Amino acid sequence: MNVQSIESPLGFVIIKEENNAICEISFADIPQENGTKTDVLTLAITELQQYFNGDLKSFTFPIKQSGTDFQQQVWSTLQELNFAEVISYTTLAIRMKNLLAIRAIAAANGKNKIMIAIPCHRVVGMAGELTGYAGGLWRKQWLLEHETKIAGIGQTKLF
């Protein structure tokens, strides 16, 4: 596994690549020791920097994370969200045609290891409140405000 760290407005972003696909994107307060910089890592770094600069709204680098078929379905549905589109867990469950699975959907959302590119930060509580985010709620809020501002959809403060 190859690892690269980049600085961002949210601290360090840790990017892990395995078998020519990004398998994890996470946040840290300190950088990790960088490994070999592969073509996939270079692309991911470039695209994440463009995202943070407000110049990119969707990612093209290959991703692959292990998970159950159900988790893969949740993550795939998350990738269908438009840039700056914020939805509730209930709406996500309705889109997946599985309203009774809201808690399982939320759990799968929480197991996502490819933050930002699989936009689990775009899912909020039913009343629009911020709910758990492995990177910290302050990062989730920053990501949502960043996307709202870049998309030019009006208010820049959601919460």
- CA 81 vs. chain centroid, Å, equals 11
CA–CA gap between residue 103 and residue 106 (Å, rounded): 5
Amino acid at 127: A
Instruction: Count the neighbouring beta carbons within 10 Å of the beta carbon of residue 55.
Output: 10
Rg (C-alpha) for the chain, rounded Å, is: 15
Residues 60/144/140/110 CA torsion (nearest 10 deg): -60
Instruction: Specify whether the CB–CB gap between 140 and 130 falls below 8 A.
Output: yes
Active site residues: 120
